[in-house]
Structure 1
Amino acid sequence: MTETTARDYSETLYLPKTDFPMRAGLPKKEPEIIARWKAMDLYRRLREAAKDRDKYILHDGPPYANGNIHIGHALNKTLKDIVTRSMQMQGWDSNYVPGWDCHGLPIEWKIEEQYRARGKNKDEVPINEFRKECRDFANHWIGVQREEFRRLGIEGDWENPYLTMNFEAEAFIAGEIMKFATSGQLYRGSKPVMWSVVEKTALAEAEIEYHDYQSDQIWVKFPVVEAGGLDEKVTEELLDAAVVIWTTTPWTIPGNRAISYSSKIAYALYEVTQDDLPEDNWVQKGDRLILAEALAAGVFEQSRVQRYEHLRQVAADELAALTCAHPLREAGLGGYDFDVPLLDGDHVTDDTGTGFVHTAPGHGTDDFEIWMASRQALEARGISAAIPFTVADDGFYTKEAPGFEGAQVITHKGEKGDANRRVIEALKASGNLIGLGRLKHQYPHSWRSKKPIIFRNTPQWFVHMDKPLEGGATDTLRSRALQAIADTRFVPDSGQNRLRSMIENRPDWVLSRQRAWGVPIAVFRNEEDGRLAPGPDFSANEELIARIKAAFAEEGADAWFADGAKERFLDGLVNDPENWTQVRDILDVWFDSGSTHAFCLEQRDDLKPHRQGRGGKDYVLYLEGSDQHRGWFQSSLLESCGTRGVAPYDAVLTHGFTMDEEGRKMSKSLGNQTFPQDVIKDYGADILRLWTASVEYWEDQRIGPEILKTTVDSYRKLRNTIRWMLGSLTHFTGEEVALADMPELERLMLHRLAELDELVRKAYWEFDYKKIIHHLGTFLTVELSAFYFDVRKDALYCDPASSVRRKAALYVIDKLFNCVVVWLAPILPFTTEEAWLERKGSQEITIHLEQFPAVPQSWRDDKLAERWAKVRTVRRVVTGALEIERREKRIGSSLEAHPTVHVTDPQLLAALEGIDAAEIFITSQATITAAEAPEGAFTLPEVKGVAVVPGLAEGRKCARSWKILPEVGADPEYPDVTPRDAEALREWDAARNAA
């Protein structure tokens, strides 16, 4: 056919065609996809597809059910979803069962706030009525959070989550604490704990945060009253002296029972020699003080003393022989006439203070431990080792603080009471105050009420960390936990050392809370002999435990607080029920969440590992924020080691906290918060998920408007590359091309898929999602869009339908699409689902039932890759030269160019042999020469041995492909196109005529 009129050749080009939009519209599209997943029951289909596989179990650490989710929740849940999706797509049965922590103070606190707003008194409400309100509150927020999590694209068993307040769960939690009771690990002790006066409960370390606080600081004399065993001269010197302490908690002075010093510190006896001290100065000439030498100058400065004499050093054995009077002995209060011994303690330093530590065993962990360690020695000296209860749960002094009963340390609003003032006045009256000031420092506060806490001695329930268990003296809860840590994989590695150090140094595990909303410590205590029921010395453990668990499973933990509960549970099991007290304390919520493995991993068929014990094929992962080393990771470890001897997990993965763009902690007051709900509304959940996978989440990450813009830009590039592949694959008929028949460029792309397959699988196993996004992002945008697709567009659009080159390219693009989209599916579930449906053309399928593609290792060709790395190096120089030509408007497109490329590097020149340089450079013509380049040729400093002299292509412009070649018009049937295009048109016309 001879063309007699100008023809529109655009209809003969195989241009990309797709309904996959360039603009994602994720905020609108994603809810439609979620509805589709619900309609097709995707969760059930995933479970059915994986039912015979080994299990990869990500056990969900329960978020707290008391408010909308925040950005930290979004990061955490997205990471979990990426884990389960990626493991499912690599051949595991990887299930996700969401859970919620429902008990505890935060919810109880909210209900109390509502009561206070209505003028209602919690103490006048029946406890189970109050507990019902707490349960209703938790249920409401579970519903809210469930939908917010689902909107993130989190796939899981949302219809059957685990809740710590489910009756069956409460029965199991009670059963777990009763295991500790029967094994003898649970005990009731008196110990200083962190106490919130505002919330009237003991707090765990995980419930504490530190804020600036201004404290009163005092320097106090303890007059020496005895120096037993020392020679007469030394005794005379020291009996006339006083030991000086410094403290920022004056209110603890009534609880003082000792002074701690360190045998590693140098101490000395000093005498004040200054004559001109004011009469009202608390230190006067002739006063003798014992101080650490390194701190003496600072103490005298605080006491407004400028002249003093160093009399002599005081040895550690001399300090050990001293006994002091309590500084309130002469205050006229009564009750402080006991002796105060000096105890050698490792916790004493000479960094601050006086080198001596005022020791109140009821108000500090170090104080308590040194007092208890010295107990026998003290009693041998006739010193009572009893620890006083000087402060009640409401912050008021008790009668065991003589002279101060009724004074208040902390008010119910968390403000300073009058205790400090009254103690300071009493010390002045006794003549033993030598310095007074204020100190602004970091002080522990409750993370809920944001109010300061105190340390106070209270009866609490503990689990022994170092009591020998079944395996003898070396088998303790601490030793079991340390061994379990050694057996566990930690990501990052530093998490192992962090948790180990916490376990090595932690005191006994305090479990009790004096609240109402939670699972009770379901034991009875005999008031005569301290026995527990259930307990190691109780004969009817099995029956009692069965009764309690059955009642809880039927009625919930409310059964414990119902009228007649004691009689109901003990009926017929004890002869003297009046001697047994029902424990009313509830368990710390960390014990609740630490027990979740017992009623989830061991009870639910969809979570239960196939193996019995550690070492099987199944795998259990715990994933939470790094703060959970002192929270859920630790409580789960201790609970499981105490009852089963091993950790409940095989691996622990941690992430950091999310900061604003400047690295500041997000807060309402700063107005720097990023809310996941806003990100989803503006951009879509896939943008938030891409951000999650792009950051080094195991460290603290940053998010904000500018960072999100960068994420959106990265997403747009990924999406456009996927869109182009979809458009090109419209023309793919499914015809395979043998590897041996493919051009090198196609074989190079298959080689890259083989490389990436190994990288992606390894990175998913190592939870290194940033590596996946980096490499796949670079592959899609740099290697595919900017290189391979750019080079192949001419062949794909213009080659004849029969062209092997075109068929091979389409075959490879199909492989590229299948691999890349499935690899990205765990991270971008919405976008990849949309693309998959567009590609497959069926609404009955889903990408999330796919497995990662099996990429043949026969595709690997390292030598080919080495060659093409050199080819692309030369191409970079040519591209740079042509960019200047375009910028200077000497050419419009690269097809107008004919570069001459001077390659004097032998290796680069050899790599170009047999390569169609014009095709790779996307020019109409190209010349490669080994000759030296003329002066002024274009070069890149980093590429030696390559120079480019741009030139213009010669010949006519092809009306179809726009290449400029001398052979345009060589086919008389198609006089305005190249012979290649003429052949394509001939096939096109024949096919159209046949149709």
Structure 2
Amino acid sequence: MTKSKPSSSPHANVRLPERLSFPDEELKTLELWQELDAFQTSLRLSKDRKPFTFYDGPPFATGLPHHGHILAGTIKDIVTRFAHQTGHYVERRFGWDCHGLPVEFEINKKLNIHTKEEVLAMGIDKYNNECRGIVQRYTKEWETTVARLGRWIDCKNDYKTMEPWYMESVWHVFATMFQKDLVYRGFKILPYSTACNTSLSNFEANQDYRDTPDPSVVVSFPVVGDESTSLLAWTTTPWTLPSNLALCVNPDLDYIKVKDLKSDKFYIVAHTRLVQVYPKVDKKGYVAGSEFEIVGAPFKGSTLVGKTYVPLFGTFADWPHAFQVLADKYVTSDGGTGIVHQAPAYGEEDYRVCLKNGVVTKTLLPDPLDDNGKFTDQVPLVQGLYVKDADDVICKDLKARDRLVSKNTFVHSYPFCYRSGTPLIYRAVPGWFVNVEKIKDKIIANNQKTHWVPAFVKEKRFHNWLVDGKDWNVSRGRFWGTPLPLWVSDDYEEVVCVGSIEELKALSGVDAITDLHREFMDEITIPSRTGRGVLRRVPEVFDCWFESGSMPYAQQHYPFENKDKFHDGFPAD
């Protein structure tokens, strides 16, 4: 048996202690880094290397870092350390997302504020000062956690989205889009949080879906001139029924008329959707003719187009071109009755179909709800009631008037507000939109040039999201945020988009502009160039996602400073 040769490794005879505390060893390493000022020293020594551009998206400082932040921070640290070790200069700058709904939500809880009217009564200046006071509540905790994680990033030379210089660059980004004809004002059916009094993006709405029981009702709409015959529509949102303006069928589907043997009334539904009215019809052993009789032969939905019906409520009874049957192929026989009730203020397809057929216009919609999702005096039956609380009252009223054919409970996946935990509703929201669809092909092409890890994200999840991309409502009816730099005439025919502080000074004649928040901007006016008096700023602020998305430009105060530095490092590596 031969003896093994001693190892030539310099570490071969190193003795490890019997007990080794990894946390203690980590702290020793952190102390050494601090003593050497290791991160700043590494930056100084690598200053002349080829730059590697890294963007660190800003977190909110109103909450403590959680597992998701720590995981993402670890991955970011690995990428930037590797770039440094492979011969690059890697500037790493921390940032803070200071504006938006999360901050307002915290202040509203603190001050017991529930409506916009309460904010206005308090004063936007005082409200925003409260918001300003908490946006960096946990910065020390964040810095401690980031350092303990071992991550190297510059928290001293940070950026904050509430700084006027940052906000000015956001204005520039928006003004550039405006000049390229990528911004327009309009209505969009969007997820809306009644608790937070604001619309959400589709991305935000997708963050919290829950299985939710809702009423499942079938309602009758008697045909004018043949009131014994009713068109039947199904809905899970009875609260939208007072705003009904039309019914929609599929022109190519087969429909049928039946006589209900219990009530002696006649109903019209899609031929394959009798099960919605008579649930037992598909059950084994069902006796044909026990609940209804078919009257005549099936007919196409197109034959129903133009028929008028008796409105459910008198709320909008005088609305022109309303209460008629329309046709569109979005209606299917997959569920319901094959006849869809149209409330154009509360459904994307409803709005599209009613707009196309002249029932509503882009500026005129029936919306009897206030910002809190409560009915106004336009619907006396449920005045002051929250939409979900109004469901039962409306159903009882319909039953008393013999317009409720059936009522059950339907459990489905439904979006909730990710901030307040309350059900979202879909409603027509006036706002300012970025025309994503106009540049969608370019965005998709750029995604193909992007190196994704893992690769399937590029081809699957992110690609699919881009393909389905909708125009983005970048405006929010809130207070603590970067104000939209749009000054308009009373009729909205004259619109001026301001792209910088200097431009606003020149247009308004106001020299002392040191802050861009609402309390400083809302009173500034611009003389009209078309004889329309003065232009006033629109009341909306930016979606905070637009602000954080502007970070590559705004953290450098581009184009007002650091032009060469920005161009040399854009886009990110």
Task: Work out whether the TM-score is over 0.5.
Answer: yes
Q: Where does 1:912-991 land on structure 2 (aligned, <5 Å)?
A: none
> CA contact under 8 A between 2:194 and 2:372: conserved in structure 1?
yes
> CA contact under 8 A between 2:302 and 2:327: conserved in structure 1?
no
> CA contact under 8 A between 2:83 and 2:90: conserved in structure 1?
yes
Q: Structure 1 residue 582 and structure 2 residue 537: aligned?
A: yes
CA positional deviation for 1:573:
6.7
The SS at the match of 1:253 is helix
The SS at the match of 1:63 is coil
Q: Structure 1 residue 271 and structure 2 residue 259: aligned?
A: yes
2:375 aligned residue (397, 421, 427) = 397
User: Which residue identity lines up with residue 554 of structure 2 in the other structure?
Assistant: F
Q: Structure 1 residue 494 and structure 2 residue 456: aligned?
A: yes
Q: 2: CA distance between counterparts of 1:590 and 1:564?
A: 22
Q: Where does 1:836-851 land on structure 2 (aligned, <5 Å)?
A: none
The SS at the match of 1:593 is helix
CA positional deviation for 1:202:
1.5
Q: 1: CA distance between counterparts of 2:323 and 2:419?
A: 38
Q: Structure 1 residue 514 and structure 2 residue 514: aligned?
A: no
Q: 2: CA distance between counterparts of 1:553 and 1:87?
A: 44
CA positional deviation for 1:214:
2.2
Residue of structure 2 in register with 1:222 after alignment: 221
Residue of structure 1 in register with 2:467 after alignment: 504
Q: 1: CA distance between counterparts of 2:329 and 2:93?
A: 47
1:137–1:62 CA distance, 2 compared to 1 (3 A): same
2:514 aligned residue (555, 564, 569) = 555
1:125–1:336 CA distance, 2 compared to 1 (3 A): closer
1:435–1:335 CA distance, 2 compared to 1 (3 A): farther
> CA contact under 8 A between 2:188 and 2:428: conserved in structure 1?
yes
Q: 2: CA distance between counterparts of 1:343 and 1:196?
A: 30
Q: 2: CA distance between counterparts of 1:542 and 1:606?
A: 17
2:129 aligned residue (127, 132, 156) = 132
Q: Where does 1:599-614 land on structure 2 (aligned, <5 Å)?
A: 599-600=554-555, 603=558, 608=565, 611=568
Q: Where does 1:550-949 land on structure 2 (aligned, <5 Å)?
A: 555-558=514-517, 560-562=518-520, 565-567=523-525, 570=526, 574=529, 578-600=533-555, 603=558, 608=565, 611=568, 620-621=572-573
2:272 aligned residue (294, 305, 308) = 294
User: Which residue identity lines up with residue 441 of structure 2 in the other structure?
Assistant: S
Q: 2: CA distance between counterparts of 1:16 and 1:182?
A: 68
> CA contact under 8 A between 1:326 and 1:337: conserved in structure 2?
no
Deviation sequence 1:707-753 (CA, Å, 0-9, x none):
xxxxxxxxxxxxxxxxxxxxxxxxxxxxxxxxxxxxxxxxxxxxxxx
Q: Structure 1 residue 454 and structure 2 residue 425: aligned?
A: yes
> CA contact under 8 A between 1:464 and 1:509: conserved in structure 2?
yes
Structure 1: gaps (5+ residues) = 1-9, 227-237, 278-283, 411-415, 467-475, 615-619, 622-995
CA positional deviation for 1:168:
1.3
> CA contact under 8 A between 1:170 and 1:556: conserved in structure 2?
no
> CA contact under 8 A between 1:523 and 1:534: conserved in structure 2?
yes
Residue of structure 2 in register with 1:788 after alignment: none
Q: 1: CA distance between counterparts of 2:511 and 2:12?
A: 64
Deviation sequence 1:644-668 (CA, Å, 0-9, x none):
xxxxxxxxxxxxxxxxxxxxxxxxx
Q: Structure 1 residue 373 and structure 2 residue 356: aligned?
A: yes
Residue of structure 1 in register with 2:413 after alignment: 442
User: Which residue identity lines up with residue 409 of structure 1 in the other structure?
Assistant: Y
Q: 1: CA distance between counterparts of 2:443 and 2:50?
A: 27
**Same amino acid, percent of matched pairs:** 25
Higher helix share: 1
Q: 1: CA distance between counterparts of 2:543 and 2:508?
A: 19
The alignment's TM-score, normalised by the length of structure 2, stands at 0.85
Residue of structure 2 in register with 1:972 after alignment: none
User: Which residue identity lines up with residue 466 of structure 2 in the other structure?
Assistant: I
CA positional deviation for 1:101:
1.3
Q: Structure 1 residue 56 and structure 2 residue 52: aligned?
A: yes
> CA contact under 8 A between 2:311 and 2:317: conserved in structure 1?
no
Q: 1: CA distance between counterparts of 2:524 and 2:364?
A: 32
User: Which residue identity lines up with residue 204 of structure 1 in the other structure?
Assistant: S
CA positional deviation for 1:321:
4.1
> CA contact under 8 A between 1:515 and 1:585: conserved in structure 2?
yes
Q: Where does 1:304-323 land on structure 2 (aligned, <5 Å)?
A: 306-311=290-295, 312-323=297-308
The SS at the match of 1:447 is coil
Residue of structure 2 in register with 1:194 after alignment: 191
CA positional deviation for 1:102:
1.3
1:15–1:44 CA distance, 2 compared to 1 (3 A): closer
Residue of structure 2 in register with 1:706 after alignment: none
Q: 1: CA distance between counterparts of 2:356 and 2:85?
A: 57
Residue of structure 1 in register with 2:109 after alignment: 113
Q: Structure 1 residue 250 and structure 2 residue 250: aligned?
A: no
1:67–1:217 CA distance, 2 compared to 1 (3 A): same
1:184–1:550 CA distance, 2 compared to 1 (3 A): farther
Question: How large is the Cα RMSD of the aligned pairs?
Answer: 3.6
Q: Which runs of 4+ in 1 moved over 6 A?
A: 302-305, 548-554, 604-607
Residue of structure 1 in register with 2:29 after alignment: 33
Q: 2: CA distance between counterparts of 1:589 and 1:68?
A: 19
Higher strand share: 2
CA positional deviation for 1:50:
2.7
Q: 1: CA distance between counterparts of 2:399 and 2:227?
A: 21
The SS at the match of 1:64 is coil
The SS at the match of 1:392 is coil
CA positional deviation for 1:543:
5.8
CA positional deviation for 1:351:
2.2
Q: 1: CA distance between counterparts of 2:102 and 2:484?
A: 19
The SS at the match of 2:277 is helix
1:307–1:405 CA distance, 2 compared to 1 (3 A): closer
1:581–1:302 CA distance, 2 compared to 1 (3 A): farther
> CA contact under 8 A between 1:534 and 1:545: conserved in structure 2?
no
Q: Where does 1:76-225 land on structure 2 (aligned, <5 Å)?
A: 76-116=72-112, 122-208=119-205, 209-225=208-224
The SS at the match of 2:370 is coil
Residue of structure 2 in register with 1:848 after alignment: none
Q: Structure 1 residue 241 and structure 2 residue 199: aligned?
A: no
Q: 1: CA distance between counterparts of 2:29 and 2:160?
A: 27
The SS at the match of 2:220 is strand
> CA contact under 8 A between 2:252 and 2:302: conserved in structure 1?
no
Q: 2: CA distance between counterparts of 1:39 and 1:142?
A: 23
Deviation sequence 1:669-692 (CA, Å, 0-9, x none):
xxxxxxxxxxxxxxxxxxxxxxxx
User: Which residue identity lines up with residue 189 of structure 1 in the other structure?
Assistant: G
> CA contact under 8 A between 1:267 and 1:291: conserved in structure 2?
yes
CA positional deviation for 1:316:
3.1
1:612–1:121 CA distance, 2 compared to 1 (3 A): closer
User: Which residue identity lines up with residue 367 of structure 2 in the other structure?
Assistant: F
CA positional deviation for 1:449:
0.7
User: Which residue identity lines up with residue 91 of structure 2 in the other structure?
Assistant: N
CA positional deviation for 1:183:
3.6
1:551–1:364 CA distance, 2 compared to 1 (3 A): farther
The SS at the match of 1:155 is coil
The SS at the match of 1:290 is strand
